[in-house]
Amino acid sequence: MEELANEILEKTGKTKERYEKLNALAVDPQVIADNKEWKKLVKERSAIEDIALAHDKLEKLVNEYKLCKSDYEKESDHELKNMFYEEIGSLKTQLEALIEEIKILLLPKDENDESNVIMEIRQAAGGEESGLFCSVLYRMYCMYAESKHWKVEVLDINETELGGIKEITFMVKGKGAYSKLKYESGVHRVQRVPETESSGRIHTSTSTVAVLPEIEDVELEIDEKDLKIDTYRSSGAGGQHVNKTESAIRITHLPTGIVVACQDERSQIKNRERAMSILRSKLYDYYQGQVEAEYKKERKSQVGSGDRSERVRTYNYPQGRVTDHRVNLTSYNLEGVLNGDIDQFIEALTLKDRAEKLANL
C-alpha cells in the first residue's frame, strides 16, 4: 500500500508544484495585465486544482499511516497495540479509497468538458418524418437542459412545411454541459407510424446530432482575410420573411469551406457574433479531427468520440423502448426519455468511457 501511495504521490507531486506556480502567476500584476494569458493560466489552474488538493490529502494520510505503523511496532502494551492495529486498518481503507479517486482524477481530461455546447440536429433518412423527429429530439434536449437549469438559445433554424425541422443549430449554456451532451453525437433512429402515413405502417427514419464545445477567442484565432461574409433576409418556414432587413449572416471559411449561418437575432451585429462563435467551434472540431484521425482509426470503441456517422440510439414507439447501442442499454420509458430523462444513458456512457481509460492508465 505504501509503495503504491508513494507512486501516486510522485505523479501528483509535479501537478502540485505547477498548481502553486500558477497560484503565484495568477496574482502577478504583469500577468493580469495580459488578459488572454491570465485567462489561460486561470483555466489551467482550475483544471488541476482537484489533483493538487488530493495530493495534499494523500500526503497527510500516508504520513499518518506511517506514524501509526511505527507506533504499533514500538508499542509493548497489548491493549494499545490492538488500538494501533485497528487504526492502521482504518487508515489503509481510507488510503485505498483515496488512491482510486486520484486514479480517476489522473485520467486524461477533455479540456472542453466545462464548456457550453453548440448542437446541430439535421434531417437524414426519412424525408418529412425525419424532420418531425428532429423537432422531437430538439424538444428532448431542451427539457434535459431545463432539468439541469441550463439555458438554450436557438442560433439558426430551417423548418419544414409540416412543423418539423430540416436543421437547427442551438447553444446550451451551463457549467459542464459539454461533459454530458458530448455523448449525443451520432445517428438517432426512430421507428414509428409516421404522422404523414395513413396506412399505419411502421417506418424507420434517422436524424443526425452533432455536439461541439463553444470555443472562446483565446483558444482559436481566425484570420479575417480567410472569411467571406454574406448578409440576407431572415426567413421562416415556407420562405416567409421574418423581417425586411438583411440581418441574417452567412460566413464561409475559405481555407476549409466550412459555412455557418445565423438568423435568430434581429441585429446583424449579434448574428455575426453568434455565427463567429459557431465557426470557431466547427473549426476546432475540424482541426481536432485531423489530428486525431489516425487515433480514431485504431480505436475499437467509439464511446465519447463524437463520430456522427455512428448509429447511437434507437427510439421504438410501438414497443415504447429506447436502446443505446454503444452500451446495450434499453429503457422502456420512451415517454420519459423524450421528456428529457436521458441521464441513464449519459451515465452509462461516461462509466464505459472511464473504464476504458482506467484500463489504459
Nearest to 169 by CA among 130, 214, 129, 205: 214
For 113-156, how does the pLDDT look when each residue is reduced to its tens digit (9 = 90+)? Answer: 888 999 999 998 888 889 999 999 999 999 999 999 999 998 88
Q: What is the DSSP string of 116-165?
A: -EEEEEEE-TTTHHHHHHHHHHHHHHHHHHHHTT-EEEEEEEEE-TTS-E
Among the candidates 244, 276, 294, a domain finishes at 294
Q: Are residues 125 and 187 in the same domain?
A: yes
- Is-contact 106 55, C-beta < 8 A? no
Q: Which residues lie closer than 8 Å to 70 by C-beta, 6 or more apart?
A: none
Q: What pLDDT shows up at residue 146?
A: 96
Tens digit of pLDDT at every position of the chain (361 positions): 778 888 888 889 889 999 999 989 988 888 888 888 888 888 888 888 999 999 999 999 999 999 998 888 888 888 888 898 999 999 999 999 998 888 888 877 777 888 899 999 999 888 888 999 999 999 999 999 999 999 999 888 888 888 899 999 999 999 889 999 999 999 999 999 876 666 678 889 999 999 988 876 555 678 888 888 888 876 654 444 444 566 788 899 998 889 888 876 677 888 888 888 888 888 887 777 765 554 444 434 434 444 455 789 999 999 999 999 999 999 999 999 999 999 999 999 998 888 887 777 6
Task: Tell which phi-psi region holds residue 320, choosing left (phi > 0), alpha (psi between -120 and 50) or beta.
Answer: left
CATH code for the domain of 154: 3.30.70.1660
Nearest to 172 by CA among 222, 211, 219: 211
pTM here is 0.66
207 DSSP β-pair partners: 123, 188
Instruction: Return the amino acid letter for 340.
Output: G
Q: Are residues 46 and 176 in the same domain?
A: no
Residue 175 domain-assigned (yes or no): yes
CATH code for the domain of 92: 1.20.58
∠ CA 185-186-187 to the nearest 5 degrees? 145
Q: Are residues 61 and 144 in the same domain?
A: no
Q: Are residues 142 and 208 in the same domain?
A: yes
Coil vs helix vs strand at 261 = strand
Give me the residue label for grid cell 485497528.
86
- Is-contact 131 122, C-beta < 8 A? no
- Cα separation, 92 vs 106, in Å, equals 21
Q: What is the extent of the structural domain holding 66?
A: 2-105
How many of the other CB atoms lie within 10 Å of CB of 66? 13
Residue 318 domain-assigned (yes or no): no
Q: What pLDDT shows up at residue 126?
A: 83
Phi and psi, residue 314, nearest 5°: -120, 130
Q: What pLDDT shows up at residue 335?
A: 96
Q: Are residues 155 and 285 in the same domain?
A: yes
Q: What pLDDT shows up at residue 161?
A: 84
User: The C-alpha cell of 39 is what?
Assistant: 485567462
210 DSSP β-pair partners: 120
Q: Are residues 170 and 280 in the same domain?
A: yes
Phi and psi, residue 14, nearest 5°: -65, -35
- Cα separation, 310 vs 300, in Å, equals 13
Nearest to 283 by CA among 263, 261, 249, 260: 260
Residue 314 domain-assigned (yes or no): no
User: The C-alpha cell of 351 is what?
Assistant: 462509466
Q: Are residues 129 and 67 in the same domain?
A: no
Residue 80 domain-assigned (yes or no): yes
